[in-house]
């Protein structure tokens, strides 16, 4: 099965950057009569499997939406358990990340994290900083509106101090003030668990991403599901506002 699906992937036309909204842990657990944290624990297995799968394929950037700014409003016990699980997992995975040449990045409002969690996170970032294989970006305490407001503030400050003039502001300037400034835009965005929405994730960066929705709950999502999403992506025509005919003349499908 694995071999079958993976052989359908055109390795010359892989998305450079895949972003995933890892949704459905809570429902997965509730359906089994367990509490929501049980689902989050199992979700970590999927994270390991998908990071490994992406690295094996040669994907360059993988962004995982792990915790949104809005998720802080969940019941305190769930928030506490989830935060602990996330930071603990990141810390424990550092040796595996290093072994596989994976560099960890974090985007989000880290000031909202408890001081110790922030420090452990920083250590993991430092310990993997020299790796140049898969760039794994965890969106943690992240929301796109938070990021866009940060960008606006940072541009305003640059104008105020005379480093930048308003007439010089371009799309490139704006990009450079985003939390994702070091990464290309995702070409493929996957959301698990059957919800058809973006939930405040990379609103600016997803402008031309292909969106892929699957009913599979995140704890059940494995490499094969990732391959299916990539195959689906590769069968689409990305037009960027042009006509299909123009696109086919520019770059015939290999």
Pull the structure tokens for residue 46.
């999927």
Min dist CB 88 to Mg ion, Å, is 21
Least distance from Mg ion to the Cβ atom of residue 36, Å:
10
23 is catalytic: yes
Which residues neighbour 25 within 8 Å (Cβ) at sequence distance 6 or greater? Answer: 36, 39, 40, 42, 43, 217, 218, 219
- Residue 134's closest CA among 73, 42, 63? 63
185 touches Mg ion (CB under 5 A):
no
* Residue in 49, 26, 87, 18 with CA at minimum distance from that of residue 230: 18
* Residue 93 binding target from ligand IPE, Mg ion, none, CB below 5 to 8 Å by type: none
The separation between CA 146 and the C-alpha centre of its own chain, rounded to angstroms, equals: 16
Binding to ligand IPE by residue 56, rule CB under 6 A? no
30 three-class SS: helix
Q: How far apart are CA 77 and CA 240, in angstroms?
A: 44
> Binding-site residue total for ligand IPE (CB under 6 A)?
18
Q: Which candidate in 10, 25, 35, 71 is catalytic?
A: 71
187 near Mg ion, rule: CB under 5 A: no
Interaction between residue 66 and ligand IPE (CB under 6 A): yes
Q: In terms of CB distance, is 14 or 50 closer to ligand IPE?
A: 50
When CB distances are held under 5 to 8 angstroms depending on the partner's kind, the choice from ligand IPE, Mg ion, none that residue 205 binds is none
Catalytically active residues are 23, 71
- Interface with ligand IPE by CB under 6 A: which residues? 21-27, 65-68, 71, 82, 193, 195, 197, 199, 218
């Amino acid at each position: 099965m694995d071999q079958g699906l993976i052989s359908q992937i055109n390795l010359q036309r892989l998305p450079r950057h895949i972003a995933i909204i890892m949704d459905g842990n809570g429902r997965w657990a509730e359906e089994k009569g367990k509490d929501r944290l049980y689902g989050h624990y199992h979700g970590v297995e999927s994270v390991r499997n998908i990071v490994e799968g992406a690295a094996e394929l040669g994907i360059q950037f993988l962004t995982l939406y792990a915790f949104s700014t809005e998720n802080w409003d969940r019941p305190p016990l769930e928030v506490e358990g989830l935060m602990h699980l996330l930071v603990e997992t990141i810390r424990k995975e550092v040796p595996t990340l290093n072994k596989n040449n994976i560099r960890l990045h974090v985007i989000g409002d880290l000031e909202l994290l408890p001081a110790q969690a922030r420090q452990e996170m920083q250590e993991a970032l430092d310990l993997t900083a020299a790796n140049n294989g898969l760039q794994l970006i965890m969106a943690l305490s992240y929301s796109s509106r938070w990021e866009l407001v940060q960008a606006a503030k940072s541009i305003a400050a640059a104008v105020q101090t005379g480093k930048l003039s308003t007439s010089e502001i371009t799309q490139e300037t704006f990009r450079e003030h985003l939390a994702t400034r070091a990464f290309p835009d995702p070409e493929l965005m996957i959301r698990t668990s059957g919800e058809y929405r973006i939930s405040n994730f990379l609103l600016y960066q997803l402008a031309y991403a292909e969106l892929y929705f699957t009913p599979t709950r995140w704890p059940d999502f494995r490499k094969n599901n990732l391959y299916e999403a990539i195959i689906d992506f590769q069968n689409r025509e990305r037009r960027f506002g042009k006509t299909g005919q123009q696109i086919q003349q520019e770059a015939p499908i290999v």
